[in-house]
Amino acid sequence: MIKDDQGLRDRLALLSESEKIDLIIELMARIEQLSARMTEFEARIGMNSSNSSKPPSSDGYAKPNPKSLRKSSGRTPGGQKGHPGTTLCQIAEPDEIVLHEPERCVCGCGLDDAAVEQVESRQVFDLPEKLVWVTEHRIASKTCPHCGRTVRAVAPLQASGPVQYGPRIRAMVVYLRDVQMLPFQRLTDFCDDVLGVGICTRSVETAQKQVHETLAPFEQTIRAQLQNAAALHTDETGLRVNGKLHWFHSLSTESLTLYQAHPRRGGEAIEANGIIPVYQGVLVHDCWSPYFHYGGAHALCGAHLLRELAGICENEGHRWAQELSCLLEMISQTSAASDASSLTPELAEWFEQTYNEILARGTYELAPPRKTPGKRGRAKKPKSANLHERLVRHRDAVLRCLRNPFVPFTNNQAERDIRMVKLRQKISGGERTFMGAQIFARIRSYVSTSRKQGKNLFQNIVDAVNGNPWIPLPLLSPT
C-alpha cells in the first residue's frame, strides 16, 4: 500500500498542491471507470437463461437455481378434481379370443359336458411375436389360346422389384428418424433387435427423400395459408450442417408450422422464404432487427422482456425495471384471462399510460454512457439503457396484445416449434448435408402441423410414403 511504500511517499512529497489535486481527480476518475467495468463484468457473469435471452444450453453444468416466471396457482400437484382420467379400456372386437373352461369341480366331477353359464372377459394388449409380415406376390403368366401371346399379370405398386420394404416399414423408419429423433445407428439397431429386419442407413435416407418429394404440395399449401394468418410467430436457431453453422427458421400459428433451412440468419433467409416479405398481418418475434423491415405490424415476446428485466433488477437494481416487470405480468395474466376477446378500451388505456409513466421515471435512473479509455467510437451504454431505449422505441409492439385478441403476450408458440431442431442437434450433432437439412425441415413441418391439428401422425406418414400426403384445409376463423 502507499503508506508502506517509501518511494511513493517521497514522490508525492515533491508534488505541488495543485499537482496533488490533479492527481487525486485523475485517480478518482480511474476508480470510477474500474468500478463501472467491475459492475459490467459481474452482470455478465450473472447472466443465464433465467434473466437474459441466453439459451438454457449456455448455462453449462452449473445450472442456476430455477426461477420460473410462472406464479403459483395454489393447486396441489397431480390431477385436479373433476379432471377426466385416462386408463386402458377393453375394445369391442379383439383380434383373438381364447376361451378358458373349468375342467373339474372341487368334488372331483368332470365338467366337459356341462354348459357354459357365464363368461368374464379379460383382455391383454401386447405385441405379436412376429412384427414383420412378408407377402409374396406371384406374378403369373398365361398364354392366350386365341393368338398365342404370353400375357403376364400387372404387379402391384408396392412390389416393383424382387424384394423391397413395404410402405408401413418405410413410414416407420421416417417416424423413428424425424419424429423420435433416433440417430441412424440406434434406428438400425432397433429394426434389427425388435423387428428382425436389417435396415441400412441408405434405406432410411431413401425413405426420407421419397417423403420429402411427396410433401411438396403440402408445403405449398402451408405457405399459402400462413400468408393469411392474423398473427404469425417466427423464430430462428442455429444448426450445424456439414460442420458449418446454418440456421433453421420457423413460421407458425396454433395449427400450422413451416421450417426452413438456410445458410444465413437475417434478411437473405427471410427473402428466400418468401412469406414474410408479402405478409401484412402481425409478426410476433423476439425483436430480431431484420424482422422490422417486413410485415404490417409487430408484436414482441413478453417472456423475453421479463427475463431481461429480471437481469436488470438482479445486476443493476433499477426500480423502473421491477415496476415494469409487475406491469407486464399483469398484462400477461389479464390478456390470457380475456379468452381471445379484446380488453376494454379503458383497461387497455390504463396499461398503456402506466407503461409510459414507468419508462419516463426510469429515464432518471439510467447511468450516462461511459467512454472507454483508449477506444474510439461512441460511448457505451449499459444494458439497462439499451433495454429502456428498446422498450420506448417499440412501445406499440410490446403492448400489441392489449388491443388485438389474436396476438398473444409471448412468442412461446415459436419457441415450442423450434425446440425440436435443437433436440436434433443435441442427439445427432447436426446434419451432414444441406439437402439433409432441407429434408428434415419439410418433414418436421408435416409432423408438427399434423400434431397441431390432431391427426393420426403415423397414418399421415404412411399416406405420404404412398404418394398421397395429407393436405390441411384452410381454417374458417383466423389462425
Backbone angles phi, psi at 273, to 5 degrees: -70, -40
pLDDT of residue 367: 78
DSSP SS3 for 54: coil
pTM of the model: 0.80
Distance CA 414, CA 423 (A): 15
Tally Cβ neighbours within 10 Å of residue 235.
23
Distance CA 314, CA 478 (A): 40
Distance CA 328, CA 399 (A): 9
Grid cell in block for residue 174: 421416417
Sheet holding 282-285, edge to edge: 257-262, 244-252, 231-241, 282-285, 297-300
Closest CA to 384 of 302, 310, 301: 310
For the chain, the first-to-last Cα distance in angstroms comes to 69
Torsion of CA 14, 18, 24, 28, to 10 degrees: -150
DSSP SS3 for 175: helix
Domain range list for the chain: 302-366+379-402
Single-letter amino acid code for the residue at 12? L
Closest CA to 101 of 118, 86, 78: 118
In the predicted model, is pLDDT for residue 297 greater than 70?
Answer: yes
- 440 or 9: which leads in pLDDT: 440
pLDDT of residue 2: 42
Instruction: Point out which residues pair with 245 in neighbouring strands.
Output: 240
Distance CA 285, CA 410 (A): 9
pLDDT of residue 4: 57
In the predicted model, is pLDDT for residue 33 greater than 80?
Answer: no
Distance CA 199, CA 45 (A): 49
Distance CA 283, CA 287 (A): 10
User: pLDDT tens, 156-197?
Assistant: 888 888 999 999 999 999 999 999 999 999 999 999 999 888
Grid cell in block for residue 24: 487525486
Single-letter amino acid code for the residue at 71? K
DSSP label at 455? Answer: -
Chain centroid to CA 238: how far? 12
Q: Diameter of the chain by CA atoms? A: 130
- 47 or 281: which leads in pLDDT: 281
Give the residue-averaged pLDDT of 16-22.
Answer: 81
Give the side-chain half-sphere CA count within 13 A for 331: 31
Distance CA 205, CA 324 (A): 51
Distance CA 395, CA 405 (A): 17
The answer to whether 397 and 298 are in contact (CB under 8 A) is yes
C-alpha distances in Å from residue 219, one per residue of 224, 226, 466, 470:
9, 11, 17, 11
User: pLDDT tens, 57-97?
Assistant: 666 656 555 555 566 666 777 777 777 777 889 999 999 99
Closest CA to 333 of 402, 277, 249: 402
In the predicted model, is pLDDT for residue 51 greater than 70?
Answer: no
pLDDT of residue 339: 57
